[in-house]
Structure 1
Amino acid sequence: MSDERITLPVAEARSLATEACLSAGASHLTAKSLVDATLSAIEVGRDELGFPHFLDYLQSLREGRIDGGASPRIVHRLPALIHADANRGIAQLGFDLVYDDLVDRARTFGVAIFTQRNSYTAGELGYYVRRLALDGLVSLAVANSPAMVAATPGAKAVYGTNPLAFGTPMSGSERPLVIDQSSSATAFVNIVRAASEGRSIPEGWATDENGEVTLDPHKALRGVLLAFGGPRGANIALMVEVLAAGLSGASWSLDAPDFRSGAECPGTGLTIVTLSPNAIGEDFGARLAEQVRRLEQLGVYIPGQKVSLSAKNGGGFITLDARILAAIRSYI
């Protein structure tokens, strides 16, 4: 059964995931936000941040790290600044509740900022900027997470994987340009995936519990991840920490409880800066599309995520590991 894959209609997968959320203690609003984000990750090929990570949310709902009934408290501190306290809920719900307002303010003022504290970890960060790009906005998102990344080999974990994501629309394309990467050498979910599949990991991803660089993902899970590029990656992690946790008032990564054990919410932060390119000039999208074509002709890889419109509208199919499907069904 370990290699068995199951194909489901998207509508059936959505219904199953929603039922699992509700059974684990989520409100209908929380369930919808979480399932929407999960399916969005799958639709753009980020399977590792789809249903495998969805199980972390279900377990955390059941064990109390996520308050499934949380109602975010939203404050408009300035015309272009929205601040939210997630009240120990999921990060996606606060974003969903302010989304239309955030877009309107970005279009009105040219720039708008959303910052949120006291949530569970943010999930696939590309989800936030991808949505904004599809509405014609440029955005930068940063989020912190519990400490699991050392600045140098052999050192203590001081940062989360602290990802950052950038998204922008491109004229004449349904594919927004999306850059979504962690400040660690790899995302934590990739270590978990390698361990479950019995694969080794590349050198430089992580150290074991003794601080030695390891290729064994099981030892890496007992150790710490490493920042990409040494001090340069650590600098990015610190920048993300300042913007995500410092600005929002969230827990610093060093103070954030584990997102996979215990009963405390990590209480981490998320900050999104949104820009309206049309506020400066209506030729932005065309200029960017032309520049991307030039780069591609020169052999440059351009990141991007093609959105599956059929899946977005409830059509299409998804394929997932039978073990993951069985684990989701166990919550119902």
Structure 2
Amino acid sequence: MSETVTLSLEEALLLCREAAMRAGAGEATAEALARASVDAERDGQATVGIGHLIDYLESLEAGRIDGTVEPELSRPAGAIILSDAKGGSAHLGFDRAFDDLAQTARQFGVAVFSQNNAFTCGSLGYFVGRLAEADLVGFAATNGPALLAGSGATKPVYCTNPLAFAAPVEGGAPLVIDQASSATAFVNVRKAAQEGRDIPEGWALDAEGRPTTDAKAAVKGALLAFGGVRGANIALMVEVLAAGISGANWSLDAPGFTSGSQSPGSGLFVLALDPKLIDPDFSTRLAAQLDRLSGTYGVHIPGLAKAAAREKAERSGIAIDKEIYKRIAGWGQ
């Protein structure tokens, strides 16, 4: 069992923020990347948590993330906010637009944030979760470099193309659904390859298009969609929302996010909705429905495990792998 280092949330934020700045990020980008990484770790999503910050640090140094650029925001219509990330992080544009996005949703009932030319965003649930904390319903979609075979294909044509949804629940943790269109996230396959572990059948193809359980072969091949054709269709839907509407790179045209010096130019689509303008009792009714589903029918409710992990982290801090801590703490020194 690997050794760990336990940090308070503030200590973890400081660790990540300072490492990002040493890697070339300005204060705003360093704060955005640190916050997203620590929040994911706090919520029990270690694969896109503090360890994932290393991908951001390497990309800052290589130039795949412009750490000093300021996103360019525009308003082509009353309820639409556009962001050109200009090769920077996906998080900074959303941070800059968040208050306006929330206020616009409350004014019009609905608002859209659409961004292009960004690095990939890690945990997509981070974006909709913030909207739910502001008593809004959120839906998000994003893309990146091609990793996933489409329906009938044996070569990558889409990214893992996740979608996420969150809604406020009266007196409880928000409902948060965050899932990839692939059978699993790419970071899980990559981690298995690094650790020399096999992966389950149905997750991936090798470079010749053959089903494989060899994680190292899968990294060089293509991921498979969950649910076959249906999952691949969802990946295409996400591609249209995230890349097509925003003018971002299609996944087939996106440079990789682990090598080279070019931004993948990813897209991000976020829809914010104020449910109280439609049904003032929405969050109360949702709370009762989720209680019925989980209590009477034994349904797993996404978001509860994240809330429990968050409560524990706020009370006791977060334990991260000692080697990951040492790499981040020593970055650039």
* TM tier, smaller: over 0.9
Equivalence map 1:91-110=2 (5 Å): 91-110=90-109
Scaled by the length of structure 1, the TM-score of the pair is 0.95
Q: Is 2:4 the partner of 1:5?
A: yes
Q: Which whole-Å deviations, capped at 9, do the CAs of 1:246-274 have from their partners, x for residues lacking one? A: 11110000000000000000001000011
1:12 offset after TM fit, Å?
2.0
Scaled by the length of structure 2, the TM-score of the pair is 0.95
Q: Is 2:209 the partner of 1:208?
A: no
1:45 offset after TM fit, Å?
0.7
- On the 8 A contact 2:109/2:273 being kept in 1, the answer is yes
Identify which of 246, 257, 260 aligns with 2:258: 260
Distance in 1 of aligned mates of 2:212 and 2:313: 39
Q: Which whole-Å deviations, capped at 9, do the CAs of 1:65-109 have from their partners, x for residues lacking one? A: 000001100001111000000000000000000101100000010
Tell me whether 264-273 or 191-200 shows the greater mean CA deviation.
191-200
Q: What corresponds to 2:322 in structure 1?
A: 322
Q: What corresponds to 1:81 in structure 2?
A: 80
Distance in 1 of aligned mates of 2:47 and 2:311: 20
Q: Which whole-Å deviations, capped at 9, do the CAs of 1:278-318 have from their partners, x for residues lacking one? A: 11121101111111111112111111131736856xx7411
Aligned length in residues? 328
Q: What corresponds to 2:161 in structure 1?
A: 162
Distance in 2 of aligned mates of 1:10 and 1:156: 41
Instruction: Tell me which amino acid in the other structure corresponds to 1:103.
Output: A
Distance in 1 of aligned mates of 2:321 and 2:217: 24
Q: What corresponds to 1:286 in structure 2?
A: 284
Residue ranges of structure 2 left out of the alignment (5+ in a row): none
Distance in 2 of aligned mates of 1:144 and 1:257: 12
- On the 8 A contact 1:17/1:328 being kept in 2, the answer is yes
Q: Which whole-Å deviations, capped at 9, do the CAs of 1:39-78 have from their partners, x for residues lacking one? A: 1101111111002211110000000000000110000111
Distance in 2 of aligned mates of 1:82 and 1:311: 34
Q: What corresponds to 2:110 in structure 1?
A: 111
Instruction: Tell me which amino acid in the other structure corresponds to 2:307.
Output: K
Distance in 1 of aligned mates of 2:164 and 2:282: 20
Instruction: Tell me which amino acid in the other structure corresponds to 1:222.
Output: K
Equivalence map 1:182-197=2 (5 Å): 182-197=180-195
Change (3 A) 1:242 1:256: same
Change (3 A) 1:275 1:154: closer
Distance in 1 of aligned mates of 2:73 and 2:221: 37
Instruction: Tell me which amino acid in the other structure corresponds to 2:322.
Output: A
- On the 8 A contact 2:129/2:176 being kept in 1, the answer is yes
Change (3 A) 1:112 1:154: closer
Question: Secondary structure of the residue that 2:212 maps to in structure 1?
Answer: coil
Change (3 A) 1:153 1:78: closer
Q: What corresponds to 1:62 in structure 2?
A: 61
1:196 offset after TM fit, Å?
2.9
Distance in 2 of aligned mates of 1:205 and 1:319: 29
- On the 8 A contact 2:155/2:221 being kept in 1, the answer is no
Instruction: Tell me which amino acid in the other structure corresponds to 2:144.
Output: S
Question: Secondary structure of the residue that 1:229 maps to in structure 2?
Answer: coil
Instruction: Tell me which amino acid in the other structure corresponds to 2:44.
Output: G
1:192 offset after TM fit, Å?
1.6
Question: Secondary structure of the residue that 1:185 maps to in structure 2?
Answer: coil
1:209 offset after TM fit, Å?
1.5
Change (3 A) 1:310 1:208: closer
Equivalence map 1:145-184=2 (5 Å): 145-152=144-151, 155-173=154-172, 175-184=173-182
- On the 8 A contact 2:151/2:233 being kept in 1, the answer is no
Q: What corresponds to 1:33 in structure 2?
A: 32
Residue ranges of structure 1 left out of the alignment (5+ in a row): none
1:330 offset after TM fit, Å?
3.2
Report percent identity of matched pairs.
51
Distance in 2 of aligned mates of 1:106 and 1:152: 36
- On the 8 A contact 2:112/2:269 being kept in 1, the answer is yes
